[in-house]
Amino acid sequence: MNLGRFVNQSGLDFGVFYVNILIMFTRQIGIDLGTTNTVVYTPDKGFIINEPTIVALDLSTNKVLAVGREAKEMVGRTPGDIAAYRPLKDGVIADYYITRAMLTYFIRKAIGTFNIWRPDVVVSGPAGITATERRAIVQAAEEAGAKTAYIVKEPLMAALGAGIPINSSSGNMIVNIGGGTSEVAVIALGSVVCWSSLRVAGNKFDNAIIEYIKKKYSLSIGEQTAELAKINAGSAIPMKNKIEFEIRGRDLTTGLPKDITINSNEIAEALNPLLLEIASSIQGVFNQTPPELVADVMEKGVIVSGGGANLRNIADFLKRILGVEAYTAPEAIMCVAKGSSMILNHLDVYKKTLLNKF
């Protein structure tokens, strides 16, 4: 037996084994921390969590009772001593304690409760996030179990997830309509050149539907009912073949339960003022953008991502108002999360570029 060959082979085998162990226990998590929904990605498992950004709290003990989907089911149904909170407002932390508890839940769910290896975490942040807001997210993530937390501007992550070549010298425009904010950005050479952040998005859409139905039908409905109406029958422009949706609520005149049927054209009417605000925000970004990049966007069109991109005919609405082609990104609601996956898969590269551009 050749002893030297055995030692070398054993050393090689041990080296490969050691590398495999390191890979196995290296944890990386991408978090699309949205005002309405949070999506979590890990390189080994893919997209593992897509749940509402809601926490249910026992007010008497200050104890977290439920997070995510389970907490959302409690919205509008909780007794006086239990409250359901949305810990983020307009994409940034509104309640630090509850945000930390929520991140702890999502991180533990992603890597397991008893995992001793603290993960690197990439978290999305609004384009206009301040240094204080950024520190709050980083601190909350680290206290929730992250070894290192990186914040990346949401439009950049959305653009990556939408398949836009962000490092190109040619300009691209992304419009990410989330739950709390609509972010518009022109991107070139891996950076945001011009941007706008508008506090008009999915949650405001729901409130507009609630108010419209209250005024037109004297019917009071909840947030979840309005959201279902938006998803099932919502449209950005009137449709020839209207979609109808039955709504159940409380008659404000009699105080009794009542059913009504609304259609997609009514929802389009309710949402029109808010959609015009988003279009105005996009126009404002065009006004700030260098002419060469505007020409690039005119040639390629505007890409719409985020949950709001799933509103029927949103691209057609923007095209009518702006005079520029608009396209809805594939899997629009997952664009930011997909962008986080691309960053995690090439973390060493992005550490030197995107992760330091705040």
Q: Give buried/exposed letters for 64-91 (b at 16+ CB in 10 A, else e).
A: bbbbbeebbbbbeebeeebebbbbbebb
Amino acid residing at 68 = G
- Tell the CATH topology of 202-270: Actin; Chain A, domain 4 (3.90.640)
Task: State yes or no: pLDDT of 98 exceeds 80.
Answer: yes
Mean pLDDT computed over 202-229: 95
Q: 63: part of which helix (H) or strand (E)? A: strand 63-67
The residue ranges of every structural domain in the chain are 26-153, 158-200+273-335, 202-270
Query: How distant, in Å, are the alpha carbons of 68, 179, 250, 294 from that of 77?
Result: 15, 21, 15, 49
Query: How distant, in Å, are the alpha carbons of 66, 94, 105, 148, 233 from that of 142?
Result: 21, 17, 13, 7, 41
**Phi, psi angles (nearest 5°) of residue 99:** -65, -45
Contact between residue 278 and residue 198 where contact means Cβ atoms under 8 Å apart: yes
Number of H helices and number of E strands within the chain? Answer: 12, 18
Mean pLDDT computed over 81-110: 85
SS3 readout for 93-106: ECCHHHHHHHHHHH
Token pair, residue 300, equals: 């390629």
Query: Is it true that 26-153 and 158-200+273-335 share their CATH fold?
Result: yes
Q: Which pLDDT belongs to residue 12?
A: 44
Torsion of CA 206, 208, 209, 213, to 10 degrees: 140
Task: Tell me which CATH homologous superfamily contains domain 158-200+273-335.
Answer: ATPase, nucleotide binding domain (3.30.420.40)
Contact between residue 278 and residue 182 where contact means Cβ atoms under 8 Å apart: yes
Task: State yes or no: pLDDT of 17 exceeds 50.
Answer: no
Closest by CA to 94, choosing from 172, 33, 151, 185, is: 33
Euclidean distance between CA atoms 222 and 127, whole angstroms = 31
Task: Tell me which CATH homologous superfamily contains domain 26-153.
Answer: ATPase, nucleotide binding domain (3.30.420.40)
Q: Which pLDDT belongs to residue 46?
A: 84
Q: Which residue has the tokens 């389009």?
A: 268
pLDDT band for 180, please (50, 70, 90 cuts). Answer: confident
pLDDT band for 83, please (50, 70, 90 cuts). Answer: confident
Q: pLDDT of 37-72, one tens digit each?
A: 898 988 888 888 889 899 998 888 888 888 888 888
Query: What's the number of CA atoms in the CB half-sphere (13 Å) around residue 14?
Result: 6
